[in-house]
Chains A and B, each alone.
Chain A
Amino acid sequence: MTKTTTKINIGPVHPSTHGVLRLVVDLDGDTIKNLEAHVGFLHRGVEKLVETRMYMQCPPYMEKLDYVAPLAYDEAYVATVEAALGIEVKERAQYIRVIELELQRIASHLFFIGALCNDMGQMFTMFMWVFEDRDRVLALLEQATGQRMFYVNMRLGGVARDLPPGFDEDCQSLLGHIEKRLEVYGKYLESNPVFMERMKGVGILTAEEAKGLGVTGPVLRASNVDYDVRKARPYYAYRELNFNSQVLGGGDNLARYKVRILEIKESIRLIRGALKRMPEGDALGAQVRLIGPAAKNRIASVSRELPRGEGMMYMIADPQRPYRLSVRSPCFINLFALEHMAKEQRFADLFSIMGSLDLVMACVDR
């Protein structure tokens, strides 16, 4: 009797694919023999589009690359333009950027916990809980930037708005609240046998595999590879603030989840440190003008630790607009790794592995 495999098609529209993604899986019984990801449904040609726009017309496009952490992409792009134009960021603005980026990381990681539990099958309680807390973070960001989701708050050399009066107290009280909630999440999830069974020892990625497959961010650090752009190539106030990159061994779903929990705690520490050391002075950047100063550096390359991993922007600058902008998306390469990680795993575990990668399809397809 010859063994046959069954082909199963998932998506392109499926509640667990976090956007439009088609997976074709070859199954032998319950075991995945091969997985092929079909992407591109959300491809909007952003890299081409920006070639037709002036520099400061682009941040709104960049934010839509990752709608769960738009501010991070906004900052990465504006930093690339600053590098090309040779603009220094004001000292106070550097601290404000760090605070906003870390708040964005907390919001994004909270979303991850909810989406992961949702992917694992109707643990919707968790989804609702984190959404309530994430909403508080978004409300604070709205207080700081004027927008709830798409902030477009970065300006050349600074930010569009300085922090409002009373931000310090509101932020401290929110951070205290999140800390307490993290304990509740931990108790709820880590004592849940269903959650633990689908996390522990599932989707293991060794350090060598992780480097070879090029995975990045929390996925890489959960495989015991210590690389965090904020540490390796520090920028802004990360140079002065005291924090550690969070690295865990194990390389399984549980390690990827735990690294993000630890990162939320580290972000809280970072924000507290930044608030304490916040310098006085002007933080406002240049007003948006379509015709700006001409580029001084023809080539600008900027790496940033986005919530999903390392994002790199490589720009060839023309006097008024990008001649070419290449975006290194962390989700793109993490999804590629899924094709390898899913092999020989149980079909039922596919979505917990995928959930642990924290994908945003808009970021994959660009």
Chain B
Amino acid sequence: MKVNAEDIAQKAQEMRKSGFDYLVKITAIDYVQSITVIYFLRDIGGNRDDIIEADLDCKDAWVPTIIDIFPCADWYERELSEMFGIQIRGRAARRLLLEKWDGTEPPFRKSFAWNSEYKAEG
């Protein structure tokens, strides 16, 4: 179900209360005009899956943190922040996978010039 970015945490909290007790993954897709972020949630006992989806502005992409609701969101949020340049409000999301990398452009954005980063010498 689609919500606004500012309502993600509230929606996650509601779903947590209605039995969705497991966060499967958080991921994002860069559609160039906008970025869609998706939260996959599951109710293990009731065997139900659902998603929370939000469209973000590419230039000012942010989502609220949900680590208080689902602790396992921690690493997913850090990954989201470094790979898609999405700001996680409410926490300091340090880099995770690309800790020592000195690039600034988020690599999973479509604008990332992956082919021109490293040139073979000679």
Contacts and interface: CB of A to CB of B under 8 A. Distances in A.
Interface stretch (A157-165, A255-263, A324-332): A324-332
Interface in B7-24: 21-24
Given A40-B96, A45-B107, A213 B72 contact: yes
A40 B94 CA distance: 13
Contacts of A52: 114
A211 interface: yes
Interface residues of A, number: 30
Contacts of B107: 45, 48
Interface in B44-87: 44, 47, 70-72, 74-75
B98 interface: yes
Interface stretch (A25-33, A59-67, A131-139, A310-318): A310-318
Given A38-B99, A324-B29, A310 B24 contact: yes
A39 B100 CA distance: 11
Contacts of B99: 38, 40
A336 interface: yes
A329 B98 CA distance: 17
Contacts of B21: 211-212
A232 to B, nearest CB: 5
Nearest to B108: A48
Contact of A212 (B24, B27, B70, B97): B70
Contact of A39 (B24, B29, B97): B97
B72 A336 contact: yes
B30 A232 contact: no
Interface of B: 21-25, 27, 29-30, 38, 40, 44, 47, 70-72, 74-75, 96-100, 107-108, 112, 114
Lowest 5 CB-CB distances: which A-B pairs, in order? A214-B72, A40-B97, A326-B27, A328-B25, A336-B75
24 contacts: A38-B99, A40-B97, A40-B98, A40-B99, A40-B100, A43-B97, A48-B107, A48-B114, A211-B22, A212-B21, A212-B70, A213-B71, A227-B22, A310-B24, A312-B40, A314-B27, A316-B29, A323-B29, A324-B29, A326-B29, A328-B25, A328-B27, A333-B75, A336-B72
Given A40-B98, A225-B44, A336-B74, 11 more contacts: A40-B96, A40-B100, A47-B108, A48-B108, A52-B114, A212-B70, A212-B71, A212-B72, A214-B70, A226-B44, A314-B27
